[in-house]
Structure 1
């Protein structure tokens, strides 16, 4: 790395970290009022209050990282401009485009970091934060009765769907089991029953008044008073509800849940919107860096109130545009994966154009 790159990197990282700490501090302070209320209501102990703030940190980091990059880029170029360093570099034959390439590369690596936190750290901390708000930080016994119970068979291509399941007695109502092909793309057999019971001694499900339908048209539908298959051996405790919180799932888990919900005709719109955001939002830090560098190049008299104001407005403008397209995707007007990337493409084009037209 050349001396120039090390110098610019040092200034950018310093400005980015200062901006990140400032923005995260603002968000944390805004949550303290809620924490104080929970403490006064007796919902939180002091330990719970500390854990509540800690579990919010990944989400705050993800949300404010683009703003921190935007402000960090602008401050880096503005300070260099006010110290006449950019003019000196230009005089020595170094172009402005060469100067800004280092912050752009660093912003890309920051985006990769945000992507990692968003997929690996944030879902687990979101679960912990949710449990804290529900008062479930201490271990409690799982509910005996589960509604809309759902499970994919272990090491097999079949899915259970039950409207009600008692995990103690093993009794279930309105049961549907879907056997799928190896690619998990087409149903080969569907079993429906008004009720089913898990035989704990034989470790298998027994379906009462079962209707069996086959994808193969040569096989006629069957009605069996009691139907059992040894492969349906999944215990009631393993079942979950079909109402999942997308933010608590990793990308891999989101894809698997979407696949399974699609196979049984479930609504996957919310899951697809979250998946689109997981892929698109982390790279906002990289995309928005072009705007920050362009602003720093236009307002060369230091980090003035005007440049700071424009910086914040553009930063929050991205969030507004992002939220608008997310609403379009949620309502079915746009493909969720495409809708997640449209704001990025718009701001990337605007950022590159403004950077090209920058003062230097």
Structure 2
């Protein structure tokens, strides 16, 4: 690393940290009155109030880091431009793209740190904050489901059009019996309705059609049961909890379990897609700060800062828009998380290309 790179890196990190600390202080101060109210109402002790504020830090850091990177890059590069350092470097044969290499590298490592905080520390702090407020994180099991799937240890694949775990009934009940290697279908059993017998612990099917694939036969019977079909209705459901309280590892496991049982994974996938994409907003949005900051015009710094903040909050608005579209199944959950990054990356590359240095 050359002296120039050390100088640039130190100044960028300093500006970034100043911006981040400023944002943290602003948001913590805005929450003080809420904590004072909790303490006054007896919902928290003073010590718990301090813990509550401390547990807010991961959320603030995750949400404010892109803005801190934007403002930090703008401040440091604008200072270099105002001191004519950018022009001096240019006349010395050092391009602006060369100047911004290390800020980009540093922002990448910032994104990795935010990714870790967002996927591991933030969900735990959210759970802790909920506990400190005296609220319980309720995990519930739905009583009804449509299009439920399940595979048991006997290589039976269940598909149920509708199931009610409270009444232990099902409609459009289908069971596909696979061979031992799970490579060929032996039988397909279709029942119009089914009810789980609590005494015998088996499903009892009504209006049944048994298709024997191996022997190429089909049989219709009124009632049918088999000791193999013993999966209780609760097995077709999974615990439901708010995805934001789950770490990345827990959330991936929850999504897998819900897929096995035919549950709706949309909210979990949207949250996971956001956690994979949002931390890297810093790496994208820094391009805007660097390009705008390099355009030093005397007495125009306030205008430049205003434009940068506009772009910064614009990212959050677009990110929220595509998150809403993803939740409503209008676009792919992961694609919805990355589209804002792609749009602002293209904008940043364009502004860097047009930068005046």
Over 3 Å counting, the alpha-carbon distance change for 1:41 and 1:240 in structure 2 is farther
Q: CA deviation at 1:322?
A: 0.8
1:115 is aligned to 115
Name the SS of the counterpart of 1:244 in structure 2: coil
Q: Does 1:288 align with 2:285?
A: yes
1:91 is aligned to 91
Cα deviation code 1:6-60 (max 9, x no counterpart): 1101000000001001011111112122212222222112122122112221111
Q: CA deviation at 1:350?
A: 0.8
- Find 2:269's aligned residue among 253, 269, 272: 272
Q: CA deviation at 1:91?
A: 2.3
Over 3 Å counting, the alpha-carbon distance change for 1:208 and 1:346 in structure 2 is closer
Alignment partners' CA distance in 1, 2:109 and 2:330: 33
1:39 is aligned to 39
> Within 5 Å, which residues of 2 pair with 1:174-189?
none
Name the SS of the counterpart of 1:299 in structure 2: coil
- Find 1:350's aligned residue among 328, 347, 351: 347
Alignment partners' CA distance in 1, 2:153 and 2:284: 41
**Structure 2 unmatched runs, 5+:** none
Over 3 Å counting, the alpha-carbon distance change for 1:358 and 1:262 in structure 2 is same
Name the SS of the counterpart of 2:201 in structure 1: strand
After superposing the two structures, state which structure 1 stretch, 59-68 or 252-261, moved more.
252-261
Residues 238 and 261, structure 2, Cα contact 8 Å, conserved in 1: no
TM-score normalised by L of structure 2: 0.77
1:168 is aligned to none
1:262 is aligned to 259
Over 3 Å counting, the alpha-carbon distance change for 1:129 and 1:228 in structure 2 is farther
Alignment partners' CA distance in 2, 1:126 and 1:156: 41
Alignment partners' CA distance in 2, 1:95 and 1:258: 47
TM-score normalised by L of structure 1: 0.77
Name the SS of the counterpart of 2:285 in structure 1: helix
Cα deviation code 1:68-120 (max 9, x no counterpart): 00011111111111222222222222111111111111111111111111112
Residues 9 and 102, structure 1, Cα contact 8 Å, conserved in 2: yes
Alignment partners' CA distance in 2, 1:88 and 1:21: 31
Alignment partners' CA distance in 2, 1:178 and 1:87: 74
1:52 is aligned to 52
2:327 is aligned to 330
Name the SS of the counterpart of 1:265 in structure 2: coil
Root-mean-square deviation (CA, aligned residues, Å) is: 4.1
- Find 2:243's aligned residue among 236, 243, 246: 246
Name the SS of the counterpart of 2:294 in structure 1: helix
Larger radius of gyration: 2
> Within 5 Å, which residues of 2 pair with 1:16-27?
16-27=16-27
2:105 is aligned to 105
Aligned residue pairs, count:
338
Alignment partners' CA distance in 2, 1:81 and 1:299: 6
1:82 is aligned to 82
Residues 81 and 295, structure 2, Cα contact 8 Å, conserved in 1: no
Q: CA deviation at 1:285?
A: 0.4
1:3 is aligned to 3
Q: Does 1:13 align with 2:13?
A: yes
Residues 43 and 135, structure 1, Cα contact 8 Å, conserved in 2: no
Name the SS of the counterpart of 1:109 in structure 2: helix
